[in-house]
């Protein structure tokens, strides 16, 4: 099949620019290509003919976000391809509807507001009303329902995400791709001497402020924090953060707002590739591993090096045991595109 994958942000359209965080946009593309399909991964220009594609995937985001510069193309794809699939790569799916509602309340002119930078504005102008009416679909208040491709761990429950109503979720787990990718990065870093003996430290990486959660943990190991600019923490691409994590015994994982949903998060794959222990919310840990593990970080901090190694290996083994294999992932995506 000839398949188009597009999205609302630069990352979701396959931009090769340097990004600070790893999102899941490319996993569907890789699975489709390995499944034998011809894939175009690009932006859509309003007004273009998309009828030559057998299947169309549309990655969603917050239509009023500064990063959503390809919103006009996404709305055009949804408007002209009623059979298009939805796809998700960010855990903030609840906000998709609220962002769309905020724009819809103010009318079509709000969608075209110059203060919100968007590509292909000129091409979109002749289709202003069509695109605005299509935006109403993302409020969740219409009767339109589409199939949605949702990245989750095997025990995931997509109904807990708070997503707009969809016809069905095609749940897939891309962990195998990411463990392979990050394992190569760790191996290269070790060859270059960038990773030495593991240190009794915690790594914490988050774009939002999680200081309240961290303070309650009362850890004794030093914490190396990354990602939050307001807290004056360094922000580095996750691929560069991987060797740092590989040199540490512990990785802190603060829960998102739906910790028992099973939403897929790259940090668990990174930890497995780095042979590093994850400490996080008990509900999320159980959903990912099938075991909640330690209640407090101090349980881990008291372990010997051998015990730390055993714990890291156990988490890695449990993650690999529950994740989709590469053939299973490809089969899941292929079965999914047979659904409308």
Contact (CB, 8 A) for 202 and 280:
no
| Residues paired with residue 68 on neighbouring β-strands, in sequence order | none
What domains are there in the chain, each with its CATH number? 2-174+325-336 (3.40.50), 175-322 (3.40.50.2000)
Q: What share of the chain is helix, strand, coil (3-state, %, to 5)?
A: 45, 15, 40
| Residues paired with residue 58 on neighbouring β-strands, in sequence order | 6, 86
Tokens (6 digits) for 24: 């899941």
For the chain, percent of residues with pLDDT exceeding 90: 71
Between residues 260 and 52, which one has the greater pLDDT?
52
Tens of pLDDT along 188-215?
999 988 888 899 999 998 878 788 888 8
pLDDT at residue 18 tops 50: no
Q: What is the pTM assigned to this prediction?
A: 0.92
Tens of pLDDT along 38-61?
999 999 999 999 999 999 999 999
Tens of pLDDT along 111-152?
888 766 689 999 999 999 999 999 999 999 998 999 999 999
Residue from 274, 300, 280 nearest 198 by CA? 274
Interatomic CA distance for residues 64 and 96, integer angstroms: 9
Annotate 253-283 with DSSP letters as a single string. Answer: E---S-TTS-B--HHHHHHHHHT-EEEE-HH
Q: Which residue has the tokens 């979720």?
A: 169
Residue 19: the pLDDT is 45
Interatomic CA distance for residues 91 and 271, integer angstroms: 19
Residue 196: the pLDDT is 80
Separate counts of helices (H) and strands (E) for the chain? 14, 10
């Amino acid at each position: 099949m000839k398949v188009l994958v597009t999205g609302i942000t630069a990352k979701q359209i396959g931009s090769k620019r340097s990004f600070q965080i790893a999102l899941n946009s490319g996993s569907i593309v890789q699975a489709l290509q390995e499944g034998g399909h011809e894939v175009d991964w690009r932006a859509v220009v309003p007004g273009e003919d998309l009828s030559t594609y057998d299947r169309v995937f549309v990655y969603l985001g917050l239509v009023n976000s500064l990063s959503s510069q390809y919103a006009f193309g996404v709305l055009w794809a949804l408007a002209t391809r009623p059979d298009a699939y939805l796809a998700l790569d960010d855990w903030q799916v609840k906000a998709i509807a609220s962002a769309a509602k905020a724009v819809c309340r103010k009318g079509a002119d709000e969608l075209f507001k110059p203060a919100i930078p968007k590509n292909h504005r000129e091409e979109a102008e002749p289709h202003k009303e069509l695109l605005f009416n299509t935006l109403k679909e993302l409020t969740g208040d219409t009767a339109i329902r589409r199939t949605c491709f949702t990245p989750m761990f095997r025990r995931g429950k997509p109904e807990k995400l708070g997503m707009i109503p969809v016809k069905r979720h095609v749940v897939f787990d891309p962990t195998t791709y990411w463990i392979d990718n990050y394992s190569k990065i760790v191996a290269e870093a070790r060859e270059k001497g960038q990773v030495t003996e593991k240190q009794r430290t915690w790594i914490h990486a988050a774009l939002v402020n999680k200081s309240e959660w961290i303070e309650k943990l009362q850890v004794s190991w030093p914490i190396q924090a990354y990602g939050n600019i307001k807290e004056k923490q360094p922000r580095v691409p996750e691929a560069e953060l991987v060797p740092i994590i590989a040199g540490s015994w512990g990785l802190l994982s603060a829960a998102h707002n739906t910790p028992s949903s099973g939403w897929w998060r790259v940090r668990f794959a990174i930890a497995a590739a780095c042979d590093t222990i994850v400490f996080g919310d008990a509900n999320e840990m159980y959903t990912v591993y099938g075991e909640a593990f330690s209640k407090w970080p101090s349980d881990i901090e008291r372990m010997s090096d051998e015990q730390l190694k055993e714990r890291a290996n156990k988490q890695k083994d449990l993650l690999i045991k529950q994740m989709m294999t590469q053939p299973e992932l490809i089969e899941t995506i292929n079965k999914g595109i047979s659904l409308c």
